[in-house]
Amino acid sequence: MERLNKFLARAGVASRRKCDQLIAEGRVTVNGVVVTNPATRVSENDLVLVDNVPVRPVEHHVYIELHKPRGYLTTLKDPYGRKTIAELLQNIPYRVFPVGRLDRDSEGLLLLTNDGFLTYVFTHPRFGVEKRYLVHVQGEVQAEDLERLKAGIPRGEECYRIVSGQVLEKKGETSLVEVVLTEGKKHEVRILFDALGFPVIRLIRVGMGPLTLDPELPPGKWRYLRKDEEEKLRAYLAERRQT
């Protein structure tokens, strides 16, 4: 027996948080009864439906790396007809969903999977999964600026901060900075640099946990993770099961 939201995530329906939302909206039934409590215990013998479609636990997990280009939403469907990453994911014979998000104007490494546990680990702040970004900004960033970002920038009830950072290059009136974050709040990198007066020109995610953006993978293209990458990923997840 396991929690309903975990069961749905393991079945590849969506991330754990998204499954909570589906349950709260009354879109999930167990043995013909609408269930709105994500902690409801279910087993593989129960008939679980989402929007009247039966779901079963996934037996084969897949992991896909997408080099997301600018101009695409990190979602598989948009009610306003805007471009989404679904347009880039042709000929994939699995139901996969994105692990976290990159906003429309950001680019770089995006992981897609049907592994609900991986999505939970990579998106929940308690696990502290590091995400690395290359940030092109307007202005000359100094070492003391990065120290301010490490100390934290308060915004309302939130506090935004980086774990580490370094200035890689200064060219004219622009800077190239590498930063590492673990929380991934919405627009976090842009909010941080805007707060110091350095508007972001370009934002590229180049790493997530043990994974690094493949320099040979062109923007808009995807590939399955290699065997060695999957092994690193599984080892990384096994470590976090202990936390």
Catalytic residues: 103
Tell me which residue of 43, 1, 4 sits closest to 27, measured CA to CA: 4
> Is the torsion defined by CA of 32, 38, 40, 46 positive or negative?
positive
Q: Round to whole Å and give the CA distance between 86 and 97.
A: 10
CA distance 97 to 150: 31
Measured CA to CA, the distance from residue 111 to residue 208 in angstroms comes to: 9
Q: Which residues touch 56 (CB under 8 Å, ≥6 apart)? A: 11, 44
b vs e for 32-64, b when ≥16 Cβ sit within 10 Å of the residue's Cβ? eeebeebebebeeeeebebeeeebeebeebbbb
Longest dimension (CA), the chain: 65
Half-sphere exposure of 165 (CA within 13 A, CB side): 30
Q: What would the two tokens of residue 78 be?
A: 């948009």
> In this structure, what DSSP letter does residue 55 have?
-
